[in-house]
């Protein structure tokens, strides 16, 4: 695990290759460069020979011996250690030198092996071993295992930090330890090591920090402003000012990587940098001591506002998927920027950031929570108040609660002098809200009003056409193909993969309307392939489409697997709008196939919580007529009404996994 112990383990494994000896030279206590050679000579029992320097004496004695010399903890005497290693390697052909150091020596022939943090299993094993060593009554229960795994993860797999945490188990449970890790530097002290700098985590980090040059220390402190990973351009623009100029950042970051204070992760042709969280907290404390924290956080917020606007511009064209991947990569930094702006009452920049990110990834419920926070804090007269309200109501639709949106957008459209672009958006969202409350006819009427407005003012019709396909599917199926054609023409102009995914979905709907189930399934599958991994609207709708195709096919195995996959994924992403669509589709299918009990449970919940979708209006009426005529349906409907939504999802998935009863026999 740690560098010293790893070196000793390697030496023991390789001892047979060095019949003349393996020598461990501990350099941690050596304070001066000149003392390095003396420490090596003392360990090897080399006497100073007349007419030779001490280093020449060492080289002369080693001669052609097959020895391994370990120079342990050489970072603070790097130049002298490099001189010793170079001399031995040049003049002693059978000798080998193994060095443990925070950074490479930079000598000819050097091979570097980076000692990475412990993985979760290794960290868990180390914690338990050290906890057992300090307390022979230590026992790992189920809850303890979860807490220990979380402790090791939050401590970045750093062996010393894990050892110091484990030493606390004599007086604290693992859960207690986990709850106190926000103050880890006060908590993690007093380990078993005899080395002073390993007695506390703070001291160990200070040892490495003090070996940095002044510019390295300054940049390291400033880099702590980043959450998660960051790019070099961001580091230059945010941290390059004052005593550390922007042009200096490249070399300094490289130096910090060499000294293991910054981690460099390669992703294809790009490199991202990050600080381990424990090291980042140390740097953040130092940044406060420098009185630069406020300035760095402001610079960080400004930069990531610019990054968000750049992403929003790229999210509507052929680089759409790359932009969504970039958003995931930068989400930690966006979160940190918002968390800086929000508590400091910089509400304008906080709102700008939240609204811009929402444009990139509409389905991100964390951003929706930011918007709700801002709505409660920003006064009605603020210029961002209305966009926040629109977005919050829109978010409610996606979260599965569309009734407030019907009232809101109806009132909005009654306002005098509403800009036409807002009118078009309001008609589209009103149509979606009506559809999601079970009224496809009114939804389609809203689509037609919006399409007329778009035609008059030459607005894009793509999204209106998309909603039009949904609404027509439920009430005017002969119109689906026309809306699909409008959407396909518009999406071909953008070249955006997710626009193509939407087009494939509406083409799948058109195929289902024509009872071409295989063709529909193929369109939905390709739509899902294009949207896979985006965790957004397009992935959800493709999954919903595949479920609809499975229900139309009537194949029990396909229904079970497809509905299970859809519900599992949609539930995990908390995309409740599509969860309710899939649930209603499944309820209709179960009733049609004779599983009245399963259908009654689902319909009981859907009715109690006013979830209904316009696409299934006819099937819903048919199913409820059957259930209301069967007295045995009353109890399962009541049971479904009392279930939580989480319980309902679990019920549906478990029932899908059960053996399929014969058609018409479910309740006999």
Q: Answer with the one of 72, 100, 128 that is the final residue of a domain.
A: 100
Whether residue 561 is contained in a domain is answered as no
Average of per-residue pLDDT across 7-33: 90
Spell out the alpha helix ranges (H) of 155-292.
Answer: 159-166, 174-179, 184-187, 201-210, 214-223, 232-239, 249-258, 277-289
On the question of pLDDT at 229 being above 50, the answer is yes
Whether residue 35 is contained in a domain is answered as yes
Chain segment 384-414, per-residue pLDDT in tens:
999 999 999 988 888 888 999 999 999 999 9
Q: What are phi and psi of 18, to 5 degrees?
A: -125, 80
pLDDT score for 487: 92
Same domain flag for 435 and 488: yes
On the question of pLDDT at 369 being above 60, the answer is yes
Q: DSSP characters for 209-247? A: HHTS-HHHHHHHHHHTT--SEE-HHHHHHHH-BTTB-GG
Whether residue 463 is contained in a domain is answered as yes
Same domain flag for 389 and 346: yes
Whether residue 58 is contained in a domain is answered as yes
Cα–Cα distance, 70 to 99 (Å, whole number): 6
- Among 69, 96, 3, 83, which residue's Cα sits nearest to residue 36? 83
Same domain flag for 354 and 297: no
Tokens representing residue 211 in the block: 């070996």
Average of per-residue pLDDT across 581-587: 95
Cα–Cα distance, 315 to 330 (Å, whole number): 15
Chain segment 155-180, per-residue pLDDT in tens:
888 888 888 888 888 788 899 888 88
Same domain flag for 489 and 528: no
Same domain flag for 605 and 632: yes
Task: Domain of residue 577: give its range.
Answer: 569-668
Higher pLDDT, 320 or 623: 623
Q: Residue 661 — pLDDT band, cuts 50, 70, 90?
A: low
Q: Residue 363 — pLDDT band, cuts 50, 70, 90?
A: low
Cα–Cα distance, 637 to 82 (Å, whole number): 78
Chain segment 597-606, per-residue pLDDT in tens:
999 999 999 9
Tokens representing residue 667 in the block: 């309740």
- Contact at 8 Å (CB) between 280 and 271? no
Chain segment 491-546, per-residue pLDDT in tens:
888 888 888 999 999 999 999 999 999 999 999 999 999 988 776 778 888 999 99
pLDDT score for 1: 62
Whether residue 60 is contained in a domain is answered as yes
Same domain flag for 614 and 639: yes
pLDDT score for 28: 82
Cα–Cα distance, 291 to 280 (Å, whole number): 17
On the question of pLDDT at 667 being above 50, the answer is no
On the question of pLDDT at 664 being above 60, the answer is no
pLDDT score for 666: 40
pLDDT score for 495: 84
On the question of pLDDT at 196 being above 90, the answer is no
Average of per-residue pLDDT across 626-636: 93
Same domain flag for 430 and 345: no
pLDDT score for 364: 72
Cα–Cα distance, 501 to 526 (Å, whole number): 7
On the question of pLDDT at 222 being above 50, the answer is yes
Question: pTM of the predicted model, to two decimals?
Answer: 0.78
pLDDT score for 537: 74
Instruction: Please report where in the chains the tokens 């979708």 appear, as a residue.
Output: 613
Whether residue 634 is contained in a domain is answered as yes
On the question of pLDDT at 198 being above 60, the answer is no
Same domain flag for 598 and 613: yes
- Contact at 8 Å (CB) between 131 and 169? yes
pLDDT score for 540: 85
Q: Residue 660 — pLDDT band, cuts 50, 70, 90?
A: low
Contacts of 598-602 with CB under 8 Å at 24 or more apart are 598/636, 598/652, 598/655, 598/666, 599/623, 599/627, 600/627, 600/633, 600/636, 600/637, 600/640, 601/636, 601/637, 601/639, 601/640, 601/643, 601/648, 601/651, 602/640, 602/648, 602/652
pLDDT score for 662: 43
97 forms beta bridges with 69
Q: Answer with the one of 464, 479, 494 that is the final residue of a domain.
A: 494
Residue 85 CB-half CA count within 13 A: 25
Indicate the average pLDDT of the chain.
Answer: 89
The total of structural domains in the chain comes to 7
Can you say how many angstroms the Cα of residue 402 is from the centroid of all Cα atoms in its chain?
28
Chain segment 108-153, per-residue pLDDT in tens:
889 998 888 888 899 899 999 988 888 888 888 888 899 999 988 8
pLDDT score for 325: 86
Q: H or E element: which one contains 416?
A: none
Q: Residue 194 — pLDDT band, cuts 50, 70, 90?
A: very low
Same domain flag for 75 and 164: no
Same domain flag for 573 and 523: no
CA distances 613 to 170, 226, 244, 436, 443, Å, are: 58, 44, 59, 5, 11
pLDDT score for 115: 83
Whether residue 111 is contained in a domain is answered as no
pLDDT score for 203: 78
Cα–Cα distance, 199 to 193 (Å, whole number): 6
pLDDT score for 668: 27
Same domain flag for 644 and 586: yes
Cα–Cα distance, 137 to 134 (Å, whole number): 9
Q: Answer with the one of 161, 180, 204 that is the final residue of a domain.
A: 204
pLDDT score for 359: 83
Same domain flag for 27 and 50: yes
Tokens representing residue 515 in the block: 């009872």
Question: Where residue 290 sits, what CATH number does that domain have?
Answer: 1.10.10.10
Q: Which range, of 175-189, 215-229, 240-254, 270-284, averages the lowest pLDDT?
A: 175-189
On the question of pLDDT at 188 being above 60, the answer is yes
- Among 656, 653, 587, which residue's Cα sits nearest to residue 619? 587
């Amino acid at each position: 695990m740690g560098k010293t112990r790893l070196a000793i383990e390697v030496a023991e494994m390789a001892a047979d290759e060095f019949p003349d000896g393996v020598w461990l030279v501990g350099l941690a206590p050596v304070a001066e460069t000149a003392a390095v050679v003396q420490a090596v000579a003392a360990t090897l029992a080399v006497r100073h020979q007349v007419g030779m320097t001490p280093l020449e004496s060492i080289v002369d004695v080693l001669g052609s011996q097959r020895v391994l010399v370990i120079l342990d903890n050489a970072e603070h005497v790097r130049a002298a250690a490099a001189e010793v290693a170079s001399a031995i390697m040049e003049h002693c052909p059978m000798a080998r030198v193994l060095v443990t150091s925070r950074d490479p020596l930079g000598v000819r022939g050097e091979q570097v092996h980076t000692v990475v943090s412990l993985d979760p299993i290794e960290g868990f094993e180390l914690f338990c071993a050290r906890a057992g060593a300090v307390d022979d009554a230590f026992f790992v229960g189920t809850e303890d295992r979860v807490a220990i795994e979380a402790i090791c993860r939050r401590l970045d797999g750093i062996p010393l930090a894990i050892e110091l945490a484990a030493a606390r188990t004599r007086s604290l449970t693992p859960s207690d330890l986990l709850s106190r890790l926000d103050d880890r530097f006060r908590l993690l002290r007093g380990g078993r090591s005899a080395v002073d700098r390993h007695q506390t985590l703070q001291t160990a980090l200070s040892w490495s920090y003090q070996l940095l040059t002044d510019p390295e220390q300054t940049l390291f402190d400033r880099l702590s402003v980043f959450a998660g990973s960051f790019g070099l351009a961001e580091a230059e623009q945010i941290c390059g000012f004052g005593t550390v100029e922007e042009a200096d950042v490249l070399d300094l970051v490289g130096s910090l990587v060499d000294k293991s204070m910054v981690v460099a992760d390669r992703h294809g042709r790009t490199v991202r940098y990050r600080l381990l969280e424990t090291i980042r907290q140390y740097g953040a404390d130092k940044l406060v001591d420098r009185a630069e924290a406020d300035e760095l956080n402001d610079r960080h917020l400004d930069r990531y506002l610019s990054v968000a606007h750049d992403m929003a511009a790229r999210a509507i064209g052929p680089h759409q998927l790359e932009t969504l991947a970039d958003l995931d990569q930068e989400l930690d930094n966006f979160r940190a920027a918002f968390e800086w702006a929000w508590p400091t009452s910089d509400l304008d920049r906080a709102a700008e950031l939240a609204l811009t990110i929402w444009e990139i990834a509409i389905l991100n419920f964390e951003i929706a929570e930011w918007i709700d926070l801002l709505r409660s804090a920003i006064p009605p007269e603020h210029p961002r108040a209305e966009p926040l309200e629109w977005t919050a109501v829109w978010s409610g639709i996606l979260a599965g609660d569309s009734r407030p949106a019907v009232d809101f957008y109806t009132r909005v459209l009654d306002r005098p002098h509403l800009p036409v672009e807002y009118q078009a958006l309001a008609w589209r969202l009103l149509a979606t809200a009506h559809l999601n409350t079970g009224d496809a006819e009114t939804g389609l009427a809203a689509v037609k009003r919006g399409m007329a407005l778009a035609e008059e003012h030459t607005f894009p019709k793509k999204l209106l056409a998309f909603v039009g396909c949904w609404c027509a599917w439920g009430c005017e199926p002969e119109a689906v193909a026309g809306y699909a054609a409008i959407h396909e023409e518009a999406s071909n102009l953008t070249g955006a993969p997710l626009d193509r995914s939407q087009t494939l979905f509406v083409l799948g709907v058109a195929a289902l309307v024509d009872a071409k189930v295989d063709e529909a399934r193929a369109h939905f599958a390709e739509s899902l392939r294009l949207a896979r991994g985006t965790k957004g609207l397009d992935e959800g709708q493709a999954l919903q489409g595949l479920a609809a195709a499975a229900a139309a096919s009537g194949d029990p195995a396909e229904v079970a697997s497809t509905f299970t996959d859809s519900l599992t994924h949609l539930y995990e992403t908390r995309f409740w709008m599509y969860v309710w669509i899939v649930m209603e589709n499944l309820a209709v299918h179960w009733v049609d196939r004779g599983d009245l009990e399963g259908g009654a449970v689902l319909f009981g919940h859907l009715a109690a919580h006013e979830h209904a979708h316009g696409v299934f209006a006819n099937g819903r009426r048919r199913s409820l007529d059957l259930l209301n005529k069967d007295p045995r349906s009353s109890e399962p409907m009541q049971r479904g009404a009392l279930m939580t939504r989480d319980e309902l999802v679990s019920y549906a998935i478990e029932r899908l996994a059960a053996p399929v009863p014969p058609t018409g026999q479910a309740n006999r």
